[in-house]
Amino acid sequence: MRTAYTSDQIRAAELALMARLPEGTLMGRAAAGLAAACAPVLAERRGRVYGSRVVLLVGSGDNGGDALYAGARLARRGARVDAILAGSRAHQEGLAALRAAGGRAVEFAPGPARELIGAADLVLDGLVGIGSTGALREPYGTLAGFTADAPGVVIAVDVPSGVDASSGRVDGPVVRAQATVTFGAYKNGLLVDPGASFCGAVELVDIGLGPYLPDPDVAALTGDDVADLLPKPAPESDKYRRGVIGIAAGSDTFAGAAVLAAGGAVRAGAGMVRFASFEEPVRLVRARWPEAVTTVLTPGAERPLDDVGRVQAWVVGPGLGTGREAHAIVREILATDLPVLVDADGLTHVAADRSLLRRSGPTLLTPHAGELARLLDVPRERIEARRIEHARRAAAELGATVLLKGSTTLVAEEDRPVRVNSTGTPWLATGGTGDVLSGIAGALLAGGLNCYDAASCAAYLHGLAARIAAAGPDRAAGGSGPGDSGPGGEAPIAALDVAEALPEAVRAL
């Protein structure tokens, strides 16, 4: 499991470690790791470090010192290193080390700075560190803008300048790095969008903080973690022991959502899928997923779900509609003490009547930012800017586990680290994929996982299946493993493709 921390947590750990070490040891470790990460990049571009051109963007803080010391190491290997001093001061020992190694330092001036950056093979962003919040001040903002057009590789020192290390928030100009070399531990902003989208590949340099770190603020499951958590059938298993999931989804208007949610549950390994809805969604589910046991609900019935049969968990909401009949279904399901996943139209009913969530059973809510905005009555833009904060707030206020969908999927539960999903592809941004996710998570709930683990594993599997589907069968085994990112070499997918790729995703784990 990858764990991440706020800037305050990291700083406290650094202070505790520095108290036991000679002065400068920690910065020396960081600079050595940074230089070691830069050298292969230069070798790939130039064939060797010698003769390459490196530009350091140096601010007033310790990140500037890290960049200067790393630049000195590269200069001693023959690189031409220029440091642009952008802050009100510079780390004097680091500056002396750079000059002693043959590097050059210049005060910021827009024209020369743009020229140096434009000629560099590598730009090291050491403008601000993990303690910086809010928009970059000048001239940092201008330099961040110059890096956007840089032909060389941009590597961020610890965190890209302009990204809030604790939250991932971005309030103005920001350095978009191809790679980020971070020290001691991951920071929240490296894993959570919008900040994560500016980090590129993240490399962690161990500087000895481990024993001094507190419980993590954020965590990301690995493939091994998910494999350990997934329910596995035993020799004595039967369909009931493997988990019976009830799904109430679909309507005449949105019948496809029913097919997709049922498909997610079937392909994720549910022992049995009991599907309940109106006539048209039931007809389509029967045709596409004959494994599902279906029930046509009687419009206007006082207890519409009486004939469905026993289930171990419920999924309610995808495509269900927002009328009276749909409300009655949502109300009846939430009145049980079973685990319930609420998605899509179900969330609309809950937003209109939050008393539906006063229940004894566990509840998993799976909103996107717009749905969470309605649940919390805050602007969508505020949620997208501070995703961790609002996912946590929703979990506390609503008394539920919250899976916040988006380019970074978060799982929040009160008094636990927010989990960040590390799989996925931009091709997932297509209609119906959220319905598939609901079916996956519902199957895992029925299989015995709690809401926190079911949501986390479902998000991981969903993203991995999407990569496999987008990459195609020839690349599935080698090119779509956990930790890969980006749409390169992938093709568009539809929601049903994700459901169909789920067995391969489970097999890959």
Alpha carbon distance 38, 36 (integer Å): 5
Q: Where are the domains of the chain?
A: 2-218, 223-508
Phi, psi of 20 (to 5 degrees): -105, 0
Residues annotated in a binding site: 62-66, 125, 129-135, 140, 158, 161, 257, 319, 368, 405-409, 434-435
Residue 298 DSSP symbol: P
CA–CA separation, 453 vs 226, rounded Å? 9
Beta strands 244-248; 201-205: pairing state:
unpaired
What separation, in Å, do the N-terminal and C-terminal C-alpha atoms of the chain show? 15
Which CATH number fits the domain 223-508, given the four candidates 3.40.1190.20, 3.20.20.60, 3.40.309.10, 3.40.50.150? 3.40.1190.20
Q: What residues form the annotated binding site for (6S)-NADPHX?
A: 62-66, 129-135, 140, 158, 257, 319, 368, 435
Is residue 245 a contact partner of residue 311, using CB atoms and an 8 Å limit?
Answer: yes
Q: Give 300-332 pLDDT, tens digit per residue.
A: 777 889 889 999 999 999 999 999 999 999 999
The correct CATH number of 2-218 out of 1.10.760.10, 3.40.50.970, 3.40.50.2000, 3.40.50.10260 is 3.40.50.10260
Question: Rounded mean pLDDT of 140-147?
Answer: 97
**pLDDT at position 298:** 84
Q: How far apart are CA 7 and CA 13, in angstroms?
A: 10
Per-residue model confidence (pLDDT) at position 473 = 60
Per-residue pLDDT, averaged over 150-168, amounts to 97
DSSP assignment string, 383-419: HHHSHHHHHHHHHHHHTSEEEE-SSS-EEE-TTSPEE
Token couple for 343 = 């998605």
pLDDT exceeds cutoff 50 at 482:
no
- Calculate the average pLDDT of the chain: 94
Dihedral sign for Cα 416, 343, 282, 360, please: positive
Q: Which of 438, 469, 466, 467 is CA-nearest to residue 454?
A: 438
Mean pLDDT of 49-69: 97
Q: Is residue 82 over pLDDT 50?
A: yes
* Predicted pLDDT at 32: 98
Per-residue pLDDT reduced to its tens digit, 399-422: 999 999 998 999 999 999 999 998
Give the residue ranges of the annotated binding site for AMP.
Answer: 405-409, 434
What percent of the chain has a predicted confidence (pLDDT) above 90?
A: 91
pTM, two decimals, is: 0.91
pLDDT band at 481 (very low <50, low <70, confident <90, very high): very low
Task: Say if residue 102's pLDDT is above 60.
Answer: yes
Binding-site positions for K(+) read 63, 125, 161
Give the Cα separation of 363 and 341 in Å (integer).
6
